[in-house]
Amino acid sequence: MLSNGFLGYPTTFMLDFVVCALALIVPVLLWSLWLVKFRRHHVSHKRLQIALGIVLLLAVTAFEVDVQMVHGGWEKIVAKQQLSPEILAKKISDVRPWLLVHLVFAVTTPLLWIVTLTLALRRFQNPPVPGTHSRLHKALGWASTIDITLTSVTGLLFYYVAFVKS
């Protein structure tokens, strides 16, 4: 894995990659919802959701391997800023709550997506059309959309507080 980020901050390649993915996921998700809601393109919606799920699963897996195994944890990546030990300790202490809030959503998002996708693949016809599962799917879909949006927002806030803000 690459050890330096590409956004101009002392991070890692994978951290910057995931930040870019977080910024792109919500607009792509909203486009997918628009396709199904207003264009009735159920097949396109299905394909986009499966693709998003796979890409996010692979990106998050690579990210966690990079952060935890390659770099030894997020604290060591923050330490790349070459702060004095006292300032580094304070920064890590100040950043930790932001990460914990982010993790609430980051952990629940894949669980919701797996349930939503699995049930949809099992209960909708192929090609997909509205049916008896539509009501539950809509509720799960909106819960997943809200969860991934909060994952994105809190992830971007964590990145800002940990790596951009002086």
Evaluate whether residue 105 is within a structural domain: yes
- The 10 Å CB-count burial string (b at 16+, else e) for 40-50 is eebeebbebbe
Model confidence at 2, in pLDDT bands (50, 70, 90)?
Answer: low
pLDDT digits (tens, 9 = 90+) for 119-144: 999 999 999 999 999 999 999 999 99
- What is the reported pLDDT for 4? 81
Average pLDDT of the segment spanning 56-78: 93
Average pLDDT estimate for 83-92: 96
- Percentage of residues of the chain with pLDDT beyond 90: 93
DSSP secondary structure letter of residue 66: I
Q: Is the pLDDT of residue 1 over 60?
A: no
Average pLDDT for 7-36: 94
For 142, other C-beta atoms within 10 Å of its C-beta total 12
Examine residue 117 and state whether it is found in any structural domain, yes or no.
yes
Stretch 14-38: mean pLDDT: 95
pLDDT at 115 over 60: yes
Query: Is 156 domain-assigned?
Result: yes
Asked, for residue 111, whether it belongs to a domain, the answer is: yes
Task: For residue 72, give the DSSP letter.
Answer: S
Is 152 part of any domain? Answer: yes
> What mean pLDDT is predicted for residues 28-34?
96
The answer to the question of residue 108 being in a domain is yes
- pLDDT at residue 34, rounded to an integer: 97
The whole model's pTM is what? 0.91
Residue 152's domain spans which residues? 13-164
Domains contained in the chain, number: 1
Residue corresponding to tokens 């050890």: 3
- 95 found inside a domain: yes
Least Cα distance to 156 among 53, 64, 67, 25 occurs for 25
Residue 7 lies in a domain: no
Q: At what angle do helices 134-159 and 13-38 cross, to 10 degrees?
A: 150
